[in-house]
Structure 1
């Protein structure tokens, strides 16, 4: 089954590359979805450029979310930072409490149109899954393992870096994967504030009542989500397999 999934994702990757590199070759497939001689393939920009811009803002926003969320997760699982847990939870819940569209409406007057308000919306929206998974991963490290590391003379910093984070890594990576997939879809709304991305294709389809444009934008986002999910799931499995092969703290 694992190999079947890998082959399927490989085919999706090939199809995606062919489509964004040579979209006009798919015109006969999309022409029946158009009316009044409308163009069957999005012609107001490069699909390759829009796809790369879409991925860039998702990756940058998710990376920023991961840095803050993992840092907060580490802080509030230390004895000295336990009191900040309620405040941290309130902070990371902001993105889930306010819809991304509302965040965009607030951010645009502050930072202007373009990528910046979209980055802020995705950054806030991606915090919660990573933060909660970081908490879960760090708090589930077996106490006996921590005691063993302490007994071997490891300092708190070394226990964190050499024991806790490696053991919690698969769970943290799962949170990053969830955040990334959420942001891949959410990033399409950035085009409403002039951010470059695949939302442009979808909005153009809505404005011109062109079903072909709508389908193209949606399909590319969906294929990206499948590919990114598969790639990050493979990284999770690799981290878990390495953990399973060696989960005993070592002194150095």
Structure 2
């Protein structure tokens, strides 16, 4: 039997899909938010297409940040790379030091308008949580398990691939979850530099003083963030219980 929170999530997902596919069904709910004769449903593009493009941008940036952050965490947790920890921390903190808007402003003259500046901003912004969680996961492994792995004659590479990464994966996944949720919200500003994201809907609403557009864009991003957050959290719990962490 499904629990109540699960039912709410399934209902939220169903409503989101229905709104993206048939937004006109929800026009009566949004009509009170607009002035007379103003459109209540975003009419300057497909909400479904913008949502898919938004998710694609977040997925690409998060994948890149995961690869780089995980590689750095592995490097600095090896005996030969421990001295690079301060430098690695400085690198992954760049995204938190510069606001995404500033990164966009610096990237546009080099890469032009479009998706690329947004990808760079999201990539830099997503490095820190993934790196720190990967570092925590790899440095808090049970010593008894690591000693047993060495005692069986495993090489460093074998220990990393068969013991360390699987055991640390729930903690690493928590960092990826945080990075994804941050990127989902931050990606909306990419529309200020002509990236195709749900920020288009919000910006169109602000420019035309159409509150319904702003609500649509904001709610879609919020529901996506909640659903993806919960899905990744469930994956963390599943991995954690399987790995005994």
TM-score (norm 2): 0.98
Q: CA deviation at 1:127?
A: 0.3
Unaligned runs of 5+ residues in structure 2 are none
Which residue does 1:157 correspond to in 2? Answer: 157
The answer on 1:125 being equivalent to 2:97 is no
Which residue does 2:8 correspond to in 1? Answer: 8
**Which secondary structure state, in structure 1, belongs to the residue aligned with residue 3 of structure 2?**
helix
Which residue does 1:109 correspond to in 2? Answer: 109
Which residue does 2:216 correspond to in 1? Answer: 216
TM-score (norm 1): 0.95
Q: CA deviation at 1:3?
A: 2.2
Task: Please identify, of 99-108 and 3-12, the stretch whose mean Cα deviation from structure 2 is larger.
Answer: 3-12
Q: CA deviation at 1:156?
A: 0.6
Which residue does 2:65 correspond to in 1? Answer: 65
Deviations 1:123-143 (A, max 9, x none): 000000000000000000022
Which residue does 1:243 correspond to in 2? Answer: 243
Consecutive aligned runs of 4 or more in structure 1 exceeding 6 Å deviation: none
**Which secondary structure state, in structure 2, belongs to the residue aligned with residue 196 of structure 1?**
coil
Which residue does 1:76 correspond to in 2? Answer: 76
Partner Cα separation in structure 2 for residue 63 and residue 121 of structure 1: 14
**Which secondary structure state, in structure 2, belongs to the residue aligned with residue 131 of structure 1?**
helix
RMSD (Å) for aligned C-alpha atoms: 1.2
Deviations 1:42-73 (A, max 9, x none): 00000000000000000110011000000100
Partner Cα separation in structure 1 for residue 160 and residue 148 of structure 2: 13
Q: CA deviation at 1:81?
A: 0.3
Matches within 5 A, 1:168-247: 168-244=168-244
Partner Cα separation in structure 2 for residue 10 and residue 166 of structure 1: 30
Which residue does 1:166 correspond to in 2? Answer: 166
**Which secondary structure state, in structure 2, belongs to the residue aligned with residue 126 of structure 1?**
helix
Partner Cα separation in structure 1 for residue 197 and residue 157 of structure 2: 41
Q: CA deviation at 1:36?
A: 3.6
Partner Cα separation in structure 1 for residue 26 and residue 94 of structure 2: 42
Aligned length: 245
Unaligned runs of 5+ residues in structure 1 are 248-252
**Which secondary structure state, in structure 2, belongs to the residue aligned with residue 53 of structure 1?**
helix
**Which secondary structure state, in structure 1, belongs to the residue aligned with residue 195 of structure 2?**
coil
**Which secondary structure state, in structure 2, belongs to the residue aligned with residue 207 of structure 1?**
helix
